[in-house]
Amino acid sequence: EVQLLESGGGLVKPGGSLRLYCAASGFNFNNYIMSWVRQAPGKGLEWVSSINSGSAYIYYADSVKGRFTISRDNAKNLLYLQMNSLRAEDTAVYYCARDVYCGGDCHSPIASDYWGQGTLVTVSS
Amino acid sequence: QSVLTQPPSVSGTPGQRVTISCSGSSSNIGGNTVNWYQHLPGTAPKLLIYTNYQRPSGVPDRFSGSKSGTSASLAITGLQSEDEADYYCATWDDSLNGHVVFGGGTKLTVL
């Protein structure tokens, strides 16, 4: 059974940092593109970042570029999101998501077929 | 403002057919495939339709997707009370080195 479990969320002051984790199980992690998607309170879904299986192709939303870093450890089946210079508008539930299997060395995400339950990040003084 | 435009809300009665539209541009929907997600508050989003019309296993055939030009649609037939949720379209956008874009979401109410 595919499982994605996020952790690392919490309360942080503006300008602070936080690292999110996503532990994956039930599938061959190093064959899939992975993404982070967030939902701010009362708002819709917003894509944050994606990384391909070999970490050669990485993409960021403009709203987080230069502040957030996505990475992965295929040996440990872990996806990370390092968040620096956090702002109030980064307050959201952050979801980890697996992409549909694309059959090989894919460069960009197609669709997210499995999602974690999310971890809440609150940026407030 | 979202890059993809969806109606904020739609409604229908049980058994009815409803559609949700998603309008984009040549850099996103016009040149890439469209996905649809169902999201209930407090739960993980669920993939309903991917690559325009394909359904993941377990998604009822009451849900169908289509795309034409720079627009896409999600149709739900035989509306059920458990279909009440938020629905989002999403696709790849080729501009700005490439990124994923979501629609603003549509709240479906089953009357």
Average pLDDT over residues A1-10: 97
**Portion 68-107 of A in contact with B at CB < 8 A:** 95, 97, 100
Q: 3-class DSSP state for residue B58?
A: coil
CB contact under 8 A, A110 and B51: yes
pLDDT by residue (tens digit) across A84-101?
Answer: 999 999 999 999 999 998
* Interface test with chain B among A1, A5, A39, A45, by most B beta carbons within 10 Å: A45
> Which phi and psi (to 5°) does residue B13 adopt?
-100, 160
Q: Please give the interface size between A and B, counted as residue pairs whose CB atoms are below 8 Å apart.
A: 66
Residue of B nearest to A46 (CA): B102
Between strands A45-51 and A58-60, the pairing is: antiparallel
The CA distance from A87 to A83, in Å, is 10
Average pLDDT over residues B76-99: 95
pLDDT by residue (tens digit) across B33-78?
Answer: 999 999 998 899 999 999 999 999 999 999 999 999 999 999 999 9
Does residue A116 sit at the B interface (CB-CB below 8 Å)? yes
Q: 3-class DSSP state for residue A102?
A: coil
Does residue B105 sit at the A interface (CB-CB below 8 Å)? yes
Average pLDDT over residues B21-31: 96
- Could you tell me the two tokens for B89? 């379209």
**Portion 61-80 of B in contact with A at CB < 8 A:** none
The CA distance from A34 to A70, in Å, is 10
Average pLDDT over residues B10-17: 97
pLDDT by residue (tens digit) across A47-74?
Answer: 999 999 999 999 999 999 999 999 999 9
Q: 3-class DSSP state for residue B87?
A: strand
